Amino acid sequence: MALSAENQQPPVVVVMGVSGVGKTTVARLLADRLDLPYAEADDFHPAANIAKMSAGTPLDDRDRLPWLRALGGWLGERSAAGSGGVVTCSALKRRYRDVLRAACPDAFFLHLSGSHDLVGDRMAHRTGHFMPTSLLDSQYAALEPLQADEVGTVLDVGADPETLVARAVAALARQNA
């Protein structure tokens, strides 16, 4: 594990933000850099949720609750095992993050943030993904930024992925200092 200090638990990181902001890109690189287990939140959605989004309808709180609980389970297991881990999860609202923290109190939230224009442009050029760009408005409407008492940090996705990962590693090191 690259995060040096001995006797320190590897971090459990939730890479959050709106659809298309770069969660998968950054989370994979970060997990690789820190040699941590990785999971993709879309793999935890019930098929009905994927079908709903694919058809252009945003998920609501009820749709997201079982998915958040399943993700919380993954995080809590990684934390209990002491292995650490990195998971992508939009985690748009404070109360969604509360569900994840209830299962894994030491979760660190890495909020990837970018303008609607930038993210919309990246989504428009992405291929082979189920999420329609038309749902981006609803993602920003639901988004509640991290509050002062939430453990985590915000990174602007104007930078390239390698730079973002370096900044994430530095933020985690500061958190553990």
Ligand X SMILES: Nc1ncnc2c1ncn2[C@@H]1O[C@H](COP(=O)(O)OP(=O)(O)OP(=O)(O)O)[C@@H](O)[C@H]1O
Residue 137 in contact with ligand X, rule: CB under 6 A: no
Q: Which of 21, 31, 71, 103 binds ligand X (CB under 6 A)?
A: 21
Q: Return the ∠ at Cα 134 (arms to 131 and 139), rounded to 5°.
A: 75
Query: Helix, strand, coil: what percent of the chain each, to 5?
Result: 50, 10, 35
Integer angstrom CA distances of residue 173 from 58, 98, 104, 146, 161? 36, 23, 19, 19, 18
What does the per-residue mask of binding to ligand GCO show for 70-109, with x meaning CB under 6 A? --------------------x-x-----------------
| Closer to ligand GCO by Cβ: residue 10 or 114 | 114
Piece of the chain touching ligand X by CB under 6 A; list 22-30, 65-73, 74-82, 166-174: 22-30
Residue 139 in contact with ligand X, rule: CB under 6 A: no
Q: Which of 32, 60, 156, 160 binds ligand X (CB under 6 A)?
A: 160
- CA–CA separation, 166 vs 148, rounded Å? 23
